[in-house]
Amino acid sequence: MPDTKYILGLNHGEINSSAALAKGGRVIAGCLEERFNRENKTRRFPRQSVDFCLKHAGIELSDCTAIAQAWNPGAGWHKFNPLISGQRARREDYFYSVPDNLFQINDRPDSDWVRMDFGGNETLPPVYYIKHHRTHAANAFFLSPFEEAAILTCDWRGEYECTTWGVGRDTDIEILQVQQVPSSLGMYYGTFTELLGYRADNDEWKVMALSAYDVDSADYEDAIRSTLTFNDDGTLELDQSFYTGALVDQPKLYSPKFAALFGGREGQSGEEAGEWHHKVASAMQVVAEEVAVHFLNHLHKLTNCDAVTLSGGFFMNSVFNGKLLSKTPFKKMFIPYAPGDNGNSIGAALYVSHCLMGSPRELGYSPSEIGPEYSDDEIEEALRRRNISFNKVVNAPVAVAELLSAGEIVAVFNGQIEFGERALGNRSILADPRPLDVKDRINATVKYRESYRPFAPATLFEKAPDFFEVAPGYESPYMETVVPVKEACQQDLAAITHVDGSGRIQTVKSDSNPFFYSVISEFEKRTGYPVVLNTSFNINGEPIVLTPDDALSTFYNSGLKHLMLGSYLVQKT
């Protein structure tokens, strides 16, 4: 008999709230709340995302077997809390203070989850509060194609954990070792992000882009290594006299003597990046990769697995992801389409589905297109309501490819929105990857962002080895890896080749996204290149567009001139 249990997963209160719905252990719907409320990286309760998930499945909240929240307040019960449990201020504190006092009698557990029931109330299912890093682990392993694999999760912090080493087998996850804050690789990366004048826990990918510049950063690398220790048990130790992110009374993530290691200079918000920024970013990335390899080598010793699955904010680091297999003993890897906190609604739903409810796994392709979609009728209604001129086209991919091959920049809006930080062809801005100036045009007149930031190449899966240094069969469906562009192709693909000769590749298969595959194929027919430039359909600082109205507003508030909105072509005169 098929498993029909619905589990609603939530990431609420952490960076980029989201909701996802699993049915019988398979994710069938999900969305980031920022896409609905247009508040970038919102922490608000994902009410509209929940409503979408339930509507998509045609169910009510009461039809769910359980709700899973990707954070476990019960992790704080490892030690008695006198502020809450010793002298309760409100009766609402009973939820925490009663168990906390009772654990004074018995040994305190290290519980991965806590369940809250509601007295048999049939309108609200039980809520499971799952440890943050367990949901990262579930997001990585249960979406992967592996029956058995090592698991590494790594970010700034969960409740207390910042790194976990584990193994997944079928429907079970076993955590073998954990490291708690303050020695966090995510905090390390955030510290340098702040030193360089950017926003920690937000702008790390800007720093990753800066790290690619060809500078001599050896002296800074040695300075950074002096601030940390690689422990024999596979863990990391950050010298807290340099890294002050765990000290709540400190205004910055680093101390004055930390800044002194880099000439006593501190980056300022909005300043143009120069050689100092490049050196610091490059050195930081080199040492970050050394730490990650240290973690992974230890994980391989613990598990002896050929395959590894990875999640947590650190594995948004596509530069390292592209080197991982060449630098570690692992032979296969999988990184989900949303390894950061926003993906933990998926992880929470899958953890409860598989680890607690015993739902069977379905191995295979895990599509990121699980959000809302809009019909041509809905699109046309938005166009007519706003009195916007349009042309309905017979073959949208052909029309897009013709514009791209003529040197035009085109925004596309098609199908279900993808879940996660990256647009993968359904809410994208596309361009010819060959002219170098197209990169500057998009950064300056469309995205309104820093000129040094690169754009990703999307290529046909089977053609990737012809233009990139990858083996036949190489997959990067979620733009999760940076790889070298073939030297002979770098000049021809100037708009997507970063300063170090690399590109954050997306491989596109015909069965995973027929529309986008057709666009690239039609572009190849006209130019000989099965590659297009792909970036998210949004203005810098705003969420990716969700609805036809969002698409139209962004289109008219930017330098874009062409928008393929479903089957409708909108153009500025």
Q: Do domains 1-72+112-143+339-366 and 185-334 have the same CATH topology?
A: yes
311 touches 153 (CB < 8 A): yes
Distance between CA 119 and CA 76 in Å, rounded? 25
Q: What DSSP string describes 107-142?
A: PPP--SEEEE--TT-TTS--EEEE-HHHHHHHHHHH
Confidence class for position 468, pLDDT limits 50, 70, 90:
very high
The pLDDT of residue 565 is above 80: yes
Read off the pLDDT of residues 40-56 as tens digits, 9 standing for 90 and up: 999 999 999 999 999 99
CA proximity to 475, closest of 487, 463, 493: 463
**Would you give the distance in Å from CA 529 to the centre of its chain?**
28
Confidence class for position 248, pLDDT limits 50, 70, 90:
confident
64 touches 125 (CB < 8 A): yes
| Average pLDDT value for residue range 65-90 | 91
Tell me the CA end-to-end span of the chain in Å, nearest whole number.
Answer: 58
User: Which range, 85-94, 341-350, 448-457, has the best average confidence (pLDDT)?
Assistant: 341-350
CA proximity to 546, closest of 7, 18, 119, 172: 18
Q: Among 3.40.50.2300, 3.90.1150.10, 3.40.1010.20, 3.30.420.40, what is the CATH number of 1-72+112-143+339-366? A: 3.30.420.40
| CB proximity list for 36: less than 8 A, separation 6 or greater | 48, 49, 52, 546
**Would you give the distance in Å from CA 185 to the centre of its chain?**
16
CA atoms within 13 A on the CB side of 31: 28
Beta-bridge mates of residue 30 = 20
| Average pLDDT value for residue range 404-411 | 97
Confidence class for position 1, pLDDT limits 50, 70, 90:
low
Q: How do the domains of the chain map onto residue ranges?
A: 1-72+112-143+339-366, 185-334, 376-571
Specify the DSSP class assigned to residue 338: -
Q: What is the mean pLDDT of the chain?
A: 95
Distance between CA 353 and CA 349 in Å, rounded? 6
pLDDT at 405: 98
Confidence class for position 222, pLDDT limits 50, 70, 90:
very high
Considering the domain 185-334 in this protein, what is its CATH number?
Answer: 3.30.420.40
pLDDT at 355: 98
pTM: 0.96
pLDDT at 249: 80
| CB proximity list for 523: less than 8 A, separation 6 or greater | 401, 404, 405, 432, 529, 530, 531, 532
* C-alpha angle 27-30-33 in degrees, rounded to nearest 5: 160
φ and ψ at residue 20, rounded to 5 degrees: -145, 150
Residue percentage of the chain with pLDDT more than 70: 100
The pLDDT of residue 438 is above 90: yes
* C-alpha angle 447-450-456 in degrees, rounded to nearest 5: 65
**Architecture label for domain 376-571:** Alpha-Beta Complex (3.90)
